């Protein structure tokens, strides 16, 4: 097929104006297990589904704290994610040392984007094979960003990436107008409901395979503990997104 003629390296354009290597890198993100993020007026919540390579293995962690005010969820090549995570943590530390303040989130995302783009314009490098959902809070409030192997980044009210993420996005499209005024608890339940829509029929959400991180105004980035996860997954049974509308 024609595709194979133009996909050898990053420095070859296809006649349709595509860089196939970059597009393939974005495929790697789609292969990763789902993670999603959603934000309200005050908080951003990240929910991820952890994969277990085999019954003997542990679950692959998907979320990392970058600084007190920023956390990320990853989809794609974990090794590449670790490199970006380390870079982000270093940048935040340096900023704090020099300016005694939190690293502005959109500036950090712009730095990641620049790093990622650099890999797409080099014949001897490959793009990062990981997409990040970055949740953070600054003086303008909570923010949710998605970064891409292509070097593009976008700000979202809510977004899902990874395998079967369309199911999560469909849920968001129906209910995202409620998120702005949602409480912390409601936001987490919305996120878990969306996550549930994306899992396989024979899978179940449990405190073992779910990771939830939350950051917001007056809330440093934290990952929910096993007990908290158990509580929320139980609460899911009685949770109906529509109820929130009646209350308003």
Partner 1 sequence: MKISLAKEFDNKAHQPVAHTTSPIVTGASVVALKFRDGVIIGTDTLCSYGSMADFKDVKRIRQISKNTVIAASGDHSDFQEVVRLLGEINTEALQYDDGVSPTPRDYANYLARVQYQRRNKIDPLYLMNVIAGYYNGEQYLGLVDLYGTYIEAKTVTTGFANYFCKAIIANYWREDFSEEEARKILIECFKVVFCRDARAHDRIQISVINKDGVRIEDPIQVETRWDFQKFATKANEKLHTQ
Q: Residue 86, interface with partner 1 (CB under 8 A)?
A: no
- List the one residue out of 205, 209, 215 whose CA is nearest residue 235: 205
Closest CA to 119 of 149, 145, 146: 149
Stretch that binds partner 1, among 24-32, 96-104, 165-173, 194-202 (CB under 8 A): 96-104
Is residue 104 a contact residue for partner 1 (CB under 8 A)? yes
Residue of 8, 52, 90, 101 that binds partner 1 (CB under 8 A): 101
Q: Binding of partner 1 at residue 154 (CB under 8 A)? A: no
Give min distance, CB of 121 to partner 1, in A: 19
Stretch in the footprint of partner 1 (CB under 8 A) among 7-15, 18-26, 55-63, 95-103: 95-103
Can residue 99 be called a binding residue for partner 1 (CB under 8 A)?
Answer: yes
Question: How is residue 193 written in tokens?
Answer: 């409901």
CB 102 within 8 A of CB 96: yes
Q: Report in angstroms how near the CB of residue 138 gets to partner 1 at its nearest.
A: 9
From 139, 201, 218, 246, residue interacting with partner 1 (rule: CB under 8 A): 139
Check residue 141 for interaction with partner 1 (CB under 8 A).
no
Query: How big, in percent rounded to 5, are the helix, strand and coil portions of the chain?
Result: 40, 25, 35
The footprint of partner 1 on this chain (CB under 8 A) covers a number of residues equal to 10
Please say whether the beta carbons of 143 and 39 come within 8 A: yes
| DSSP assignments along 78-147, one per residue | HHHHHHHHHHHHHHHHHHHHHHSSPPPHHHHHHHHHHHHHHHTT-TT-----EEEEEEEEETTEEEEEEE
- Contact segment (CB under 8 A) with partner 1 among 1-9, 15-23, 99-107, 189-197 equals 99-107
Query: In 3-state terms, what secondary structure has residue 24?
Result: helix
Q: Which residues contact residue 25 at a Cβ distance below 8 angstroms, ignoring those fewer than 6 apart?
A: 126, 127, 128, 129, 149, 150
Q: Judged by CB under 8 A, which stretch of 106-114, 207-215, 218-226, 232-240 contacts partner 1?
A: 106-114
Q: Using CB under 8 A, which residues numbered 107 to 126 contact partner 1?
A: 107, 110
Least distance from partner 1 to the Cβ atom of residue 140, Å: 9
Between 34 and 137, whose beta carbon lies closer to partner 1? 137
The nearer residue to partner 1, 100 or 237, going by C-beta atoms, is: 100
Shortest approach of partner 1 to residue 156 CB, angstroms? 16
Question: Contact between 106 and partner 1 (CB under 8 A)?
Answer: yes
Write the CB contacts of 29 (distance below 8 Å, at least 6 apart in sequence).
75, 76, 129, 130, 131, 148, 149, 161, 162
3 binding partner 1? (CB under 8 A): no
Query: Which residues are at the interface with partner 1 (CB under 8 A)?
Result: 97-101, 104, 106-107, 110, 139
């Amino acid at each position: 097929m024609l595709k194979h003629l133009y996909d050898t390296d990053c420095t070859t354009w296809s006649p349709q104006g595509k860089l196939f290597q970059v597009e393939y890198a974005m495929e790697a993100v789609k292969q990763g297990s789902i993670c999603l993020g959603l934000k309200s007026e005050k908080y951003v919540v990240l929910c991820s589904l952890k994969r277990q390579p085999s019954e003997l293995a542990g679950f692959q962690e998907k979320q990392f704290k970058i600084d007190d005010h920023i956390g990320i969820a990853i989809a794609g090549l974990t090794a590449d994610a670790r490199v970006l995570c380390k870079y982000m943590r270093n940048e935040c530390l340096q900023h704090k040392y020099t300016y005694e303040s939190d690293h502005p989130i959109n500036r950090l995302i712009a730095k990641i984007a620049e790093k990622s783009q650099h890999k797409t314009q080099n014949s001897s490098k490959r793009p990062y094979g990981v997409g990040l959902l970055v949740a953070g809070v600054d003086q303008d409030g909570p923010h949710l960003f998605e970064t891409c192997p292509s070097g593009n980044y976008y700000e979202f009210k809510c977004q899902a990436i990874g395998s079967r993420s369309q199911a999560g996005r469909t849920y968001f499209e129906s209910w995202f107008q409620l998120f702005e005024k949602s409480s912390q608890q409601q936001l987490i339940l919305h996120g878990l409901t969306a996550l549930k829509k994306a899992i396989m029929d024979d899978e179940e959400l449990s405190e073992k395979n779910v990771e939830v991180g939350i950051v917001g105004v007056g809330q440093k980035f934290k990952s929910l503990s096993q007990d908290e996860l158990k509580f929320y997954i139980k609460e899911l049974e009685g949770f109906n997104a529509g109820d929130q509308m009646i209350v308003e």
